[in-house]
Structures are given as structure tokens and as C-alpha cells.
Amino acid sequence: MVSTPVTGAVNSGRQYLPGSITEAASPNQYLLPLTARLNPQDHLEIGGCDVPALVHRFGSPLYILDEVTLRTACRHYRQAFQCYYPGDALVIYASKAWNCLAVCAIVAAEGLGIDVVSGGELYTALQAGVAPDTIYFHGNNKSVEELQLAIDAGCSIVVDNWLELKTLTQLCSGGQEQPTKIPILLRLTPGIECHTHEYIRTGHLDSKFGFDPDQLDAVFAFVRQQPSLECIGLHAHIGSQIFELQPHHDLAGVMVQWMSKAAQYGLPVRELDIGGGLGIRYTESDDPPSIDEWVRVVCQGIVQACERQNLPLPRLIAEPGRSLIGSACVTAYTIGSQKVIPGVRTYVTVDGGMSDNPRPITYQSVYRAVVANRMSAEATETVAIAGKHCESGDIVIKQTTLPPTQPGDTLVVLATGAYNYSMASNYNRLARPAAVLVNAGEANIILQRETYQDLIQHDRLPQRLHPTL
């Protein structure tokens, strides 16, 4: 692999950026996108595009999505399932990580399906041209309107609770023309815990998601009696940003047991959706398994469990989100003011913050950053990266080491593809940033920067409050 050294930028010491793609490179294990390199101007370049030049052209904050990294991650998943699973398999992108037309179109072009959790995500996927039979609709409180949209579209519905089951049966008996049978999967809570933030653990019993194991018999019996529902599969998910492999192997065994029980009720379960959750590298100390390792463990778990139960292999579905998109994107900011508190801390302020990346204030997430216009400069200062919002907790990075910075420098925060734009807000009435897709030296806008006019387009002023003209 051809590499270009970067001194004092990403690691203390030397960090080597990948200059070319190799089959061994698992994108979730890199701090930077796979195409990142230094150019002769000592600037960070991604997708063949000079990052400071992108900021000059498109403004900041700016999400920069590397198409090569995203497509490579998709292919790693697909190829790993082809290698390790002797049955049928489908990888579906958990689009809550970042749902927009361009991202949905790219992953669909790579042969992946889409996991959606709202009517808006479903509508976006359909508008991007995603085949409805590869869309799976999740969520623990789907509205009647959302369920009807899913039925009309012809996608599979992952049923989360009793209310949803009963609402579906009512919709089917409402006199409207419906499909012969609505394909559903039942989401079950496996009672498996893993070491991750409590807000992103979903598999343990104390969770808002899914039917509990002691409800299995009642749920299976109810579904068997509904002629309008076809239970094609079971679903479980144990959390996000997971580095452990054993919980995923354990989950496979639990789900195959559930499949065996469903067969006793005559349910045509032929799909097992084991969720996602593979973590990515946010800092040098993070050491996530590769995509290949994760897939191998999952496949082996399902195959071994089916052999023990003497069951045919189901269609195996996985829902990676963060590990597909997280490392493929960075966020570029422009540095502004500084505040030095002697003996305490130095704050370096950027022109964004919690409105474009709410994860630090929400999950205490940790990120790394580089100064993209002086990549080889020695990192000699320990600083906090502060956002511009009127909130003391608006700290993008609590502590990082950077070269001495100046107002106007381009600061790039790494691995911001997952849950950054998708959780972005207009707090303090900041307009949401633009996003560009970069590939082979070309940059295309995929999300237009909002304007002040956009901020008020849905405001309504009662007549009596109109200013006197």
C-alpha cells in the first residue's frame, strides 16, 4: 500500500494515510477515509479534492463524504457474506446513520437494501430508487399513516409491539384493497448486553424496543391467526459501536432457537435479521474488529446453531450503519476565536458544533481532528475544540493536540459520517451545513447549505402580529 507520512497530525508521532485501496483495508478501522493523502501544498486531500479548497468553494461547516470509502465498505460486507454464509444473505444499510438521496442511491447501487425507521426515511429511499422489496421498516411507534405508506410501498415491516400488530390487522380489515399478505418480521429482545453507551444498547431486557422473550408464545399464536399477516422473519439488535464479537455469536444461537419455536406454530419464518452494531475507529486507541471478522462470527454462529437444531439455513440479514458510513465522512470547520485560561485550558472555537455534531454532548463521544491546511506542522498545543453555540456543553472535542492554530485555518474532525447530519438541528437558528460527495477529484453537492430564508420558511406570523407597514 502506497503511503504518505503525516507528522504530529492524527497520532502522536507518525500516522500513515492509505494512498491506495487494498482488499485488506477494512474502512471501519481507519481514522480517515481510504482516499485521504497529503498533497504538495501540505493540505489534506480526500477523494482527490483539496479539503481547504473545498471549504473555500462551498463554505463551512462542510460534510465531506468519500464515495470510494462508502462503496468499499458496502463491498466488504457483501463479499464477506458470500464467503462465509452458504445460504442466501442480504445486507441492508441502517439509514438512520445518514439518510439522504445520494447515500441511499449509492448503497442501493452496491446491492444493499435499506433499513428505515420513519415515513420520511422510507419516502427518501423510495425517491432514491431503492427497490421496495429490499426496504425494511423499523420503529417502536409507527403511526397509522407510516404503516399505510409501508403497506402501499410493498416493503417488509419489522413489528415492534402489540399495538402495531393490532393496528396492522385493523388496517387490513378496513375495506381498502391490500396485498394478499403483508410481510412482517417480529422484533424480539434477546437479553444480551454488551459494553457500549447505555443510550445505544438495545438488546438488553430493559429496552423500549421489541417483544420480550416471555411473550413469544402469545405473539406467535396471535400472528398465526391473522390471515393478512405473513411472518417471514425475526429480528433482534443488541446495540451500536460494539467491539466485542462474542455477543453477536450468542445472538445467533438465541435467534435460531426462536426460529425453531416459530416453526412449532406453523409460521413461515425464513429470514433472520441479526441487526448491526459493528463499531468504528474514532481515536487511535479504538480497535474495532474488521468487517470480515464480524461477518465471519455472525455466519458461523447461525450455521452452527442451525446444525444443532437440524434446521434449514434462513435468509440472513444484517443491518450495518455506522460501520458503512462513519469513516467515509469528515467535517471541515473554519477556526475562529481562541480563549486561553492559563493553567486550565485553551479553547479553539470553530464555526459549528452541537448543531452539526450532537454526539459529544449527547453520548460524550470522543473525536480526533487535524489542521487540514498545515498537515505536517508539529502538534505542540493541547486544546479544547469549542462550538459556537450558546451552550457551555457545546464542546466538539474536550482535549486534543494540534499545531498552533490561527483564525481562518481549516480544522477537520474525523469519522463524522454516522449520526452527525442525521441528528443535526437548527439550534440557535444556525443553518444546517452543506454536504459534498468527492470522488476522483470531483466534488458534487448532495445536501445544499440551508439559508436564513430556509430557517423561517415554515414559520407563520398571525395577522395581528405583523409589523405595521
Q: What amino acid positions are annotated as catalytic residues?
A: 390
Q: How many C-beta neighbours within 10 Å does residue 162 have?
A: 13
**Cα angle 38, 412, 371; round to 5:** 60
Q: How far apart are CA 35 and CA 452, in angstroms?
A: 34
Tracing cell 469513516 back to the chain, one arrives at: 327
Which run of H or E residues covers position 401?
A: strand 395-402
Produce one character per residue of 230-267: b if its CB has 16 or more CB atoms within 10 Å, e if not: bbbbbbbbbbbbbbbbebbbbbbbbbbbbbbbbeebeb
Q: How many C-beta neighbours within 10 Å does residue 195 have?
A: 11
Identity (one letter) of the amino acid at 90? Answer: L
Tracing cell 468504528 back to the chain, one arrives at: 280
Contact 410, 373 (CB under 8 A): yes
Residue 2 DSSP class: -
Tracing cell 402489540 back to the chain, one arrives at: 162
Q: In angstroms, what CA-CA distances link 259 with 89, 157, 192, 254, 268?
A: 16, 18, 17, 9, 9
What are the backbone angles phi and psi of residue 387, rounded to the nearest 5°? -80, 175
**Cα angle 117, 119, 124; round to 5:** 95
Q: How far apart are CA 440 and CA 442, in angstroms?
A: 6
Task: Extract the C-alpha cell encoding 223.
Answer: 400472528
Residue 428 DSSP class: G
Task: Extract the C-alpha cell encoding 437.
Answer: 460527495
Contact 288, 281 (CB under 8 A): yes
Contact 55, 332 (CB under 8 A): yes
Contact 167, 141 (CB under 8 A): no
Q: In angstroms, what CA-CA distances link 32 with 177, 204, 212, 452?
A: 50, 32, 40, 32
Task: Extract the C-alpha cell encoding 422.
Answer: 442525521
Q: Which of 400, 407, 434 is nearest to 331 (CA)?
A: 434
